[in-house]
């Protein structure tokens, strides 16, 4: 994974990319991105992941940690801007795609279902009043089909699975900020393996309206 020029990033992610580049200048970009996802999850874990948080940040200096905080602020503003106009968004997936395809490693890049296709699939399979169900997404990626489904019909709970831990982290963060209840499992859904990591998202959002991600021990 490589850092890309700001001009190669869509306009609404350029501030995010500039901040990310300040940290990735001295570190491997893929590690920075993964660590950022972990930091966000720890921040939403209601002080249950302090040990993981300190293990994650130990390799960064004070200035880089300040930029991580600014990066989180930029991400939250992005969510707020898009959700406030009645839309759903996947800034993490968009950014991950943008920087991953630049990798020199053949076949490294991951490509997620385009937003318009996700919305169309949700409209074809769900009605506006189709709520109160539990819906499984066995190859969730960054969670786009979940976001589109929730936008079409709110009030459902989702079960998400993916073999890629980075994808699971993006999915749970997306769900958290969109107010979606979700249980997410880092696992091989084809072989039905035991989960390597498990996350419970927004279990009490109906009471608190506060994003929450709890990492559960196996």
User: What confidence score (pLDDT) does residue 99 get?
Assistant: 82
Q: What is the DSSP letter of 102?
A: T
Give residue limits of the domains in the chain.
Answer: 6-100, 115-216
User: What confidence score (pLDDT) does residue 106 get?
Assistant: 41
Q: How far apart are CA 115 and CA 144, in angstroms?
A: 7
Query: How confident is the chain (218 residues) per 10-residue block, as mean pLDDT?
Result: 63 93 93 97 97 97 97 97 95 90 50 91 89 93 97 95 96 98 95 93 95 90
Which CATH number fits the domain 115-216, given the four candidates 3.30.460.80, 3.60.20.10, 3.40.720.10, 3.40.50.150? 3.40.50.150
Q: How far apart are CA 171 and CA 67, in angstroms?
A: 23
Question: Which position has the token pair 């498990």?
Answer: 198
Answer yes or no: are the C-beta atoms of 157 and 174 closer than 8 Å.
no
User: What confidence score (pLDDT) does residue 159 get?
Assistant: 97
- The secondary structure element, H or E, covering residue 177 is helix 165-177
User: What confidence score (pLDDT) does residue 2 get?
Assistant: 55
């Amino acid at each position: 994974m490589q850092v890309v020029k700001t001009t190669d990033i869509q306009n609404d992610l350029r501030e995010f990319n500039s901040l990310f580049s300040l940290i990735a200048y001295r570190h491997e970009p893929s590690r920075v991105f993964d660590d950022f996802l972990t930091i966000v999850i720890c921040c939403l874990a209601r002080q249950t992941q302090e040990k993981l948080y300190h293990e994650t940040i130990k390799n960064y200096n004070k200035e880089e940690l300040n930029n991580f905080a600014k990066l989180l602020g930029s991400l939250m503003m992005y969510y707020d801007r898009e959700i406030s106009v009645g839309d759903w968004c996947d800034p993490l997936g968009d950014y991950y795609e943008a920087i991953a395809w630049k990798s020199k490693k053949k076949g490294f890049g991951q490509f997620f279902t385009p937003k318009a296709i996700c919305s169309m699939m949700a409209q074809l399979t769900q009605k506006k009043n189709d709520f109160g169900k539990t819906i499984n997404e066995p190859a969730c990626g960054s969670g786009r089909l979940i976001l589109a489904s929730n936008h079409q019909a709110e009030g459902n709970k989702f079960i998400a699975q993916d073999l890629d831990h980075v994808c699971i982290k993006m999915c749970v963060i997306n769900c958290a900020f969109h107010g979606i209840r979700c249980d997410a499992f880092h696992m091989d859904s084809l072989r039905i393996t035991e989960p390597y990591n498990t996350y419970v998202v927004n279990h009490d959002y109906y009471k608190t309206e506060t994003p929450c991600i709890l990492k559960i021990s196996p």
